[in-house]
Amino acid sequence: MSKPLRVGLIGLGTVASGVAQILLRHRDRTRERAGRDVEITRVAVRDLSKSRDVEIPSDILTTDAMSVATAADVDVVIELIGGISPAKELVEAALNHGKDVVTANKALLCEHGDTLFALARETGRCIAFEAAVAGGCPIIAAMSQSMTGNQITSLAAILNGTSNFILTQMLHNDASYDDAVQEAQECGYAEADPSMDVKGTDAAQKLGILTQLAFGERISPDQFPVQGIDELELEDLHFADELGYAVKLLATAKLVNGHLELHTQPTLIRKERPLAQVDGPYNMIEITGDAVGKAWFSAMGAGQMATASAVVADIIDVAVGRAAITFPHLNLWQTEEKFQLQKSEDIERRYYFRFHVEDRPHVIADIADVLGRNGISLSSVMQKEAQIESPKAGEPPVVPLVFMTHNATEGQLRAAAIELDSLDCVQPPWLCLPVSDDQA
């Protein structure tokens, strides 16, 4: 049997503890699949005295992360601290010292993947990153290996299990947004500060990585529309349900007339579509290829062990040599530009509008007039009789009003938004979400 693969863990948080548990508790299984022993030889932590869910020998613990990245008795560095710095410096040091790297750091790859991948090629090492996207769903392997016979034309994905769990709790349990967030935190799906998840940033970063794999384009989240679920009300989920849709935080990349169109936003999806039926902390990626047609991949996207399993899979790929073979052929983060990015103002879709308006004559006409002047045509209107108490004494009561539109551009929407904000009959805030009518 080959000599052991020596692993250096940087970080021992939730996911890293899960990785350590798998490697320590399932040594025989890992040995069988890796073809050799996999040994944890060094672990970097912030606090040596902290109690942990997994027992790590004290003599391999250190607070000096750089010493792990450069240690002679480490073959592969597992970076699981997240963020940009010092993660970037640690990965660079590991590569420069002849180590392969496994990371779950989507923010790092999205922002600095070009320089890190160039360094890995230069040093003859590899970077494995299955765990950076979609938790336990092996989408990186599928796209970089199994689907290489295709030109991918579109992908639509639920990439944030935390947000999907929150939306599920709101719709099925009538939980308020705040209560659903708290439950996600209690279940270990959300951080103490859930902003990255609920504002769409996490999903947008993952979309950037998948766009690299699918289209060979380096795109950052500041180049396309990103919207989170934190503006949604419970009523929006019920209105969508009544209209035949589910609301999901959808990350989309597709080719439209030779241009690449990207967006990450809460989106109304037809209920019969597989993506609409994904509940709880699960992820799903729907990929369309010119040869295979549509393919779906789904697994747990949030939680300790789902992500840890993907990290361990990467470690085993490094151990058996698969990662070293496939990495040079990934062709990621190259300088060549294959497709032009569609300008956000030219993206054309249907939209859902939800307003709280004064219950008096001409309100629907006033809003429809604003939309019409900006080239936005209505396909349906829904008004509920249930009245919301007016926020101002002596003024008309307030009712929810929902508009569904025909196709309109993002530019038309922005122009209309300026006028809608100035209407006295509309109580802020109002909401607008894109609508996807794809059947499957």
The last residue of one of the domains, among 279, 299, 319, is 299
Q: At residue 388, does pLDDT exceed 70?
A: no
Residue 293 structural domain = 145-299
Last-in-domain residue among 299, 319, 337: 299
* Pair 93, 151 in one domain: no
Both 213 and 152 in one domain: the answer is yes
Asked if residue 106 belongs to a known ligand binding site, the reply is yes
- pTM for the full model? 0.92
pLDDT at position 391 is 60
Residues 14, 107, single domain; the answer is: yes
Indicate if the pLDDT at residue 189 is higher than 80. yes
CATH number, domain of 237, equals: 3.30.360.10
Name the domain count of the chain.
3
On whether the CB atoms of residues 323 and 78 are closer than 8 A, the answer is no
Do the annotations mark residue 254 as ligand-binding? Answer: no
User: Is residue 162 located within the same domain as residue 239?
Assistant: yes
167 and 258 in one domain?
Answer: yes
Find the catalytic residue in 99, 206, 248, 254: 206
Q: Are residues 321 and 422 in the same domain?
A: no
Please indicate, yes or no, whether residues 52 and 181 belong to a single structural domain of this protein.
no
pLDDT at 328 over 70: yes
Comparing 145 with 429, the larger pLDDT belongs to 429
- Does residue 358 sit within a domain? yes
Lowest mean pLDDT among 36-40, 54-58, 337-341, 373-377: 337-341
246 and 357 in a common domain: no
Residue 338 lies in a domain: no
Please say if the pLDDT value at position 52 is more than 90.
Answer: no
Q: Are residues 294 and 310 in the same domain?
A: no
Mean pLDDT, rounded, of the chain: 92
Query: How does pLDDT run across 243-256, given as a tens digit for each residue?
Result: 999 999 999 999 99
Assess whether 206 carries a catalytic annotation: yes
Q: Verify that 272 and 355 share a domain, yes or no.
A: no
Residues 173 and 257 in one domain: yes
Residue 314 and residue 375 in one domain: no
